[in-house]
Amino acid sequence: MQRTFRHDIMEEIKTRFANRALKDDDVSQETLEALVEAASFAPSCFNEQPWRFLVAKGERKEKLCAVLTPQNQEWACRAPALMLLCAKKTFTQGGKPNFWHLSDAGCALGFLMLEAERRGLTAHPMAGFDRKKARETFDIPEDLEVVAAVAVGYPGDLELLSERNQERNHPAARRPVGELML
Amino acid sequence: MQRTFRHDIMEEIKTRFANRALKDDDVSQETLEALVEAASFAPSCFNEQPWRFLVAKGERKEKLCAVLTPQNQEWACRAPALMLLCAKKTFTQGGKPNFWHLSDAGCALGFLMLEAERRGLTAHPMAGFDRKKARETFDIPEDLEVVAAVAVGYPGDLELLSERNQERNHPAARRPVGELML
């Protein structure tokens, strides 16, 4: 399936998709920090910056891998790094609930994914994991919501994937813009 | 205040900030649709695409302006267009609650803001508005959460702003990356 673009759109937005074909080539800690730095410039309510990134390589990555669904483990554990996006539920000043903690964290993840794309990397977000187990495994405090897992790696050949995953490893179509506008 | 960048980061991420100095020059409907199209390529859980954008120009914009806080009205109502980001709370297939509707909608807003930046536009998100009044004004269905207002326009001179807003119209600092990593 090919995506069609009606307008002139940023290259990184056009080329990004949920690629499962990731190589096991290393991604340096420096590069992972650059991705988090890119994310940090997202806007947030009262500049709270509620996003937190658990960055996992090596043994820690194996632990994070263990909380993914088997379907995601099949391809995502090959990636050299996994991340866990969390979002602080309350405002640091005053401690009141922050309605925008999830949307602001999602925005930061968007910045991170496009920066990854610019660097020839794939940052593939996943909802398919056990959020409760992730919290337990890494002792995530109650004030942080566990939001998404992210596989980070360099894109590789389709042959890395099972036949079933090869077939579905393409950009997914989108609703026409008219359906998104109120 | 200047931001510092420790790593090589996408130009649009580096230059974007919550600019209040917006001109009243028109932004075409075509361009606004291009921004929504850019947003539409964000990833989402089960490709639900829970984001919806109310796009307001002219009379509709005046109505949306009326639900902003007075502090935001002061600068945001000069913009030729305002948007209201909403997020569908439930999955279209099966109707169950979608935990990721807010984070996915925030991600789409991130894509929209960076596409705006690439086009020399500013898309400035706001939490400072009455979400309940916005729902009532535009008869937003219960299944859509009202998330954020966004002012869209071309950046202009600081002189467009009140003295107080001139002083604070600069990029805000960010937490060091180390504070964001778990």
Chain A residues close to B106, C-beta within 8 Å: 100, 102-107, 109-110
Domain that holds residue B42: 20-167
Q: Report d(CA A46, CA B103) in Å as an integer.
A: 18
Give domain status of residue A30, yes or no: yes
Give domain status of residue A4, yes or no: no
Closest chain B residue to the Cα of A60, Cα to Cα: B182
**pLDDT digits over B24-55, tens only?**
999 999 999 999 999 999 999 999 999 999 99
Give domain status of residue A5, yes or no: no
The pLDDT of residue A2 is 74
Give domain status of residue B177, yes or no: no
Query: What contacts B149, CB < 8 A, 6 or more positions away?
Result: B64, B67, B68, B72, B76, B82, B83, B84, B85, B125, B126, B128, B129, B134
Q: Report d(CA B101, CA B85) in Å as an integer.
A: 12
Give domain status of residue B119, yes or no: yes
Q: Which of A48, A107, A143 to mutate to test the interface with B (most CBs of B within 10 A)?
A: A107
Give domain status of residue A166, yes or no: no
Report the DSSP beta bridge partners of residue B52.
Answer: B86
Report the DSSP beta bridge partners of residue A124.
Answer: A151
Supply the angle between the helices B29-40 and B101-118 in degrees, to the nearest 10: 130
CATH classification at residue B93: 3.40.109.10
Tell me whether residues A7 and B33 touch, CB distance under 8 A. yes
Give domain status of residue B178, yes or no: no
Q: Report d(CA B74, CA A161) in Å as an integer.
A: 54
Helices (H), chain B: 11-15, 29-40, 58-65, 70-76, 101-118, 131-138, 163-168, 177-180
Give domain status of residue A116, yes or no: yes
Chain A residues close to B33, C-beta within 8 Å: 6-7, 177, 181
- pLDDT < 50 regions, chain A: none
- For chains A and B, CB pairs below 8 A equal 194
Contact B68, B77 (CB under 8 A): yes
Q: Tell me what ipTM this predicted complex has.
A: 0.98
Q: How many domains does chain B have?
A: 1
Chain B residues close to A111, C-beta within 8 Å: 13, 110, 114
**pLDDT digits over A19-53, tens only?**
999 999 999 999 999 999 999 999 999 999 999 99
A16, A37, A86 member nearest B182 (Cβ): A86
**pLDDT digits over B59-93, tens only?**
999 999 999 999 999 999 999 999 999 999 999 99
- pTM comes to 0.98
